[in-house]
Amino acid sequence: MIRTATAADVPVIHAMVRELAEYEKCLDEARATEEQLREALFGERPAAFAHIAESDEDGEPVGFALWFLNFSTWRGVHGVYLEDLYVRPDRRGGGHGKALLTELARICVERGYERLEWSVLDWNEPSIAFYRSLGALPQDGWTVFRLTDDALAGLGTARE
Protein backbone atom coordinates (compact mmCIF):
# COMPACT_ATOMS: atom_id res chain seq x y z
CA MET A 1 0.00 0.00 0.00
CA ILE A 2 1.20 3.50 -0.84
CA ARG A 3 0.06 6.51 1.17
CA THR A 4 0.96 10.16 1.56
CA ALA A 5 3.43 10.66 4.39
CA THR A 6 2.36 12.43 7.57
CA ALA A 7 4.39 14.33 10.15
CA ALA A 8 4.39 11.17 12.27
CA ASP A 9 6.43 9.48 9.51
CA VAL A 10 9.37 11.89 9.79
CA PRO A 11 11.45 9.65 12.10
CA VAL A 12 11.12 6.64 9.79
CA ILE A 13 11.78 8.77 6.69
CA HIS A 14 14.89 10.15 8.39
CA ALA A 15 16.05 6.63 9.28
CA MET A 16 15.52 5.43 5.70
CA VAL A 17 17.33 8.49 4.28
CA ARG A 18 20.32 7.45 6.37
CA GLU A 19 19.99 3.83 5.24
CA LEU A 20 19.95 5.01 1.63
CA ALA A 21 23.01 7.21 2.19
CA GLU A 22 24.84 4.25 3.69
CA TYR A 23 23.88 2.05 0.71
CA GLU A 24 25.17 4.78 -1.63
CA LYS A 25 28.44 4.92 0.35
CA CYS A 26 27.83 8.56 1.38
CA LEU A 27 26.57 8.36 4.97
CA ASP A 28 28.90 11.18 6.05
CA GLU A 29 27.08 13.50 3.62
CA ALA A 30 23.62 12.77 5.06
CA ARG A 31 23.40 15.63 7.53
CA ALA A 32 19.66 16.38 7.40
CA THR A 33 17.93 16.31 10.76
CA GLU A 34 14.42 15.18 11.55
CA GLU A 35 13.54 18.81 12.24
CA GLN A 36 14.75 19.89 8.80
CA LEU A 37 12.75 17.13 7.12
CA ARG A 38 9.67 18.02 9.16
CA GLU A 39 9.94 21.67 8.10
CA ALA A 40 10.55 20.81 4.43
CA LEU A 41 7.66 18.35 4.28
CA PHE A 42 5.13 19.81 6.71
CA GLY A 43 6.16 23.37 7.51
CA GLU A 44 4.31 26.55 6.64
CA ARG A 45 5.44 26.33 3.00
CA PRO A 46 6.27 22.71 2.19
CA ALA A 47 9.02 22.45 -0.41
CA ALA A 48 9.01 18.67 -0.71
CA PHE A 49 6.53 15.82 -0.50
CA ALA A 50 6.76 12.18 0.47
CA HIS A 51 4.93 8.91 0.07
CA ILE A 52 5.32 5.81 2.19
CA ALA A 53 5.21 2.20 1.06
CA GLU A 54 3.72 -0.01 3.74
CA SER A 55 4.03 -3.74 4.20
CA ASP A 56 0.94 -5.66 3.13
CA GLU A 57 1.34 -7.92 6.15
CA ASP A 58 1.56 -5.48 9.04
CA GLY A 59 1.36 -1.93 7.66
CA GLU A 60 4.97 -1.22 8.67
CA PRO A 61 6.75 1.41 6.52
CA VAL A 62 9.17 -0.41 4.21
CA GLY A 63 10.05 2.33 1.74
CA PHE A 64 9.54 5.92 0.73
CA ALA A 65 9.68 8.37 -2.15
CA LEU A 66 10.62 11.98 -1.48
CA TRP A 67 10.00 14.43 -4.31
CA PHE A 68 9.45 18.05 -5.27
CA LEU A 69 8.17 20.02 -8.22
CA ASN A 70 10.46 21.17 -10.98
CA PHE A 71 9.59 23.19 -14.06
CA SER A 72 10.35 22.68 -17.74
CA THR A 73 10.73 25.87 -19.73
CA TRP A 74 10.57 23.73 -22.88
CA ARG A 75 7.27 22.11 -21.95
CA GLY A 76 5.88 25.06 -20.01
CA VAL A 77 4.61 22.92 -17.13
CA HIS A 78 5.73 21.47 -13.85
CA GLY A 79 7.15 18.01 -13.42
CA VAL A 80 8.16 15.85 -10.49
CA TYR A 81 11.77 15.41 -9.48
CA LEU A 82 12.20 12.28 -7.40
CA GLU A 83 14.97 13.03 -4.92
CA ASP A 84 14.96 9.68 -3.14
CA LEU A 85 13.34 6.32 -3.76
CA TYR A 86 14.21 3.67 -1.20
CA VAL A 87 12.89 0.29 -0.20
CA ARG A 88 14.49 -1.53 2.70
CA PRO A 89 16.71 -4.39 1.47
CA ASP A 90 14.68 -7.17 3.09
CA ARG A 91 11.53 -5.88 1.34
CA ARG A 92 12.91 -5.42 -2.16
CA GLY A 93 11.35 -7.42 -4.95
CA GLY A 94 7.87 -7.14 -3.46
CA GLY A 95 6.63 -4.40 -5.79
CA HIS A 96 7.01 -1.50 -3.34
CA GLY A 97 9.39 0.51 -5.53
CA LYS A 98 7.19 0.07 -8.58
CA ALA A 99 4.12 1.05 -6.53
CA LEU A 100 5.85 4.24 -5.35
CA LEU A 101 6.84 5.18 -8.91
CA THR A 102 3.35 4.32 -10.15
CA GLU A 103 1.87 6.71 -7.57
CA LEU A 104 4.19 9.52 -8.68
CA ALA A 105 3.34 8.84 -12.33
CA ARG A 106 -0.36 8.95 -11.42
CA ILE A 107 0.16 12.34 -9.75
CA CYS A 108 1.92 13.61 -12.88
CA VAL A 109 -0.86 12.45 -15.17
CA GLU A 110 -3.62 13.73 -12.87
CA ARG A 111 -2.04 17.19 -12.54
CA GLY A 112 -0.86 17.58 -16.13
CA TYR A 113 2.84 17.35 -15.27
CA GLU A 114 4.82 16.11 -18.25
CA ARG A 115 7.99 14.75 -16.62
CA LEU A 116 8.99 12.42 -13.81
CA GLU A 117 12.75 12.57 -13.43
CA TRP A 118 15.42 11.30 -11.07
CA SER A 119 19.11 10.48 -10.91
CA VAL A 120 20.72 7.11 -10.30
CA LEU A 121 24.33 6.31 -9.52
CA ASP A 122 26.16 4.84 -12.51
CA TRP A 123 27.24 1.76 -10.51
CA ASN A 124 23.72 0.92 -9.31
CA GLU A 125 22.97 -1.67 -12.00
CA PRO A 126 20.00 -3.30 -10.20
CA SER A 127 18.20 0.05 -10.01
CA ILE A 128 19.09 0.97 -13.58
CA ALA A 129 17.68 -2.35 -14.83
CA PHE A 130 14.54 -1.82 -12.73
CA TYR A 131 13.98 1.70 -14.10
CA ARG A 132 14.53 0.54 -17.68
CA SER A 133 11.97 -2.25 -17.13
CA LEU A 134 9.39 0.45 -16.41
CA GLY A 135 10.17 2.30 -19.64
CA ALA A 136 12.41 4.99 -18.12
CA LEU A 137 15.27 6.14 -20.33
CA PRO A 138 18.65 7.54 -19.25
CA GLN A 139 19.34 11.09 -20.35
CA ASP A 140 22.65 10.49 -22.10
CA GLY A 141 24.63 13.59 -22.89
CA TRP A 142 23.75 15.34 -19.62
CA THR A 143 26.06 15.63 -16.63
CA VAL A 144 24.83 16.64 -13.19
CA PHE A 145 26.74 19.53 -11.63
CA ARG A 146 26.60 20.48 -7.97
CA LEU A 147 27.94 23.28 -5.79
CA THR A 148 28.19 22.58 -2.05
CA ASP A 149 30.12 23.57 1.03
CA ASP A 150 33.14 25.84 0.38
CA ALA A 151 32.56 26.14 -3.38
CA LEU A 152 28.95 27.23 -2.84
CA ALA A 153 29.90 29.67 -0.08
CA GLY A 154 32.72 31.10 -2.19
CA LEU A 155 30.52 31.69 -5.21
CA GLY A 156 27.62 32.92 -3.09
CA THR A 157 29.72 35.56 -1.42
CA ALA A 158 31.79 36.59 -4.47
CA ARG A 159 31.62 40.23 -5.49
CA GLU A 160 31.74 41.09 -9.16
Catalytic residues: 131
- Output phi, psi for 131, to 5 deg: -65, -40
Q: In what order do the strands lie in the sheet with 77-87?
A: 2-4, 49-54, 61-72, 77-87, 116-118
Our measurement of the distance from residue 95's CA atom to the centroid of its chain's CA atoms, rounded to an integer in Å, reads: 17
Distances (CA, A) of 71 to 1, 57, 111, 116, 132: 29, 38, 13, 11, 23
